């Protein structure tokens, strides 16, 4: 294992919001953040003592202005970025209330496979593969 792979991962709660038309929500990374402008599933870091669901509930309210219903734990993936090693806890969310507000100046886009927005954050690519497997989608999951 490389020296970079030995870093302690940062735990991150990530929401895969799926609407009634089976579309999923992607948001762009805000100006000033690492990977600015890349498209990803929304979420954020767990605070000390927080559960994944509580962190996801807090982050989606802070970033998007919505209150989520149940968060169904789905997949966990560790991704090594140049700036950090992250353990992404992906949860499916099918119910929420409130109006979407992009509180960090980011953009949002409801997508189907293949994703039309670009560039897509590397940590998002495994999720697109999992969605493709679940949905029987053949071919590319996103545009290069």
Q: SS3 for 13-66, per residue?
A: EEEEEECCCCCEEEEECCCCCCCCCCEECCEEECCCCCCHHHHHHHHHHHHHCC
Instruction: For residue range 128-141, list pLDDT tens digits in order.
Output: 999 999 999 999 99
pLDDT of residue 144: 81
Q: Please, which pLDDT band fits residue 91 given cuts at 50, 70 and 90? A: very high
Q: Does 107 fall in a domain?
A: yes
Q: Does 82 fall in a domain?
A: yes
Q: Does 7 fall in a domain?
A: yes
How many structural domains comprise the chain?
1
Range of the domain at 9: 3-134
Q: The domain that contains 18 carries what CATH number?
A: 3.90.79.10
List the one residue out of 39, 25, 97 whose CA is nearest residue 65: 97
pTM for this structure? 0.92
Q: Does 144 fall in a domain?
A: no
């Amino acid at each position: 294992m490389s020296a970079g792979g030995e870093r302690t991962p940062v735990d991150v709660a990530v929401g895969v919001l799926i609407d009634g038309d089976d579309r999923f929500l992607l948001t762009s990374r805000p100006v000033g953040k690492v990977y600015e402008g890349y498209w990803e599933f929304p979420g954020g870091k767990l605070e000390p003592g927080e559960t994944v669901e509580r962190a996801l509930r807090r982050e989606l309210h802070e970033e998007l202005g919505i209150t989520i219903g149940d968060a169904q734990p789905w997949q966990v993936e560790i991704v090594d970025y140049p700036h950090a090693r992250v353990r992404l806890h992906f949860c499916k969310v099918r119910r929420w209330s409130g109006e979407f507000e992009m509180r960090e100046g980011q953009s949002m886009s409801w997508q189907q496979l293949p994703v039309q927005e670009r560039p897509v954050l590397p940590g998002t690519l495994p999720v697109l593969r999992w969605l493709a497997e679940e949905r029987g989608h053949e071919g590319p999951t996103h545009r290069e």
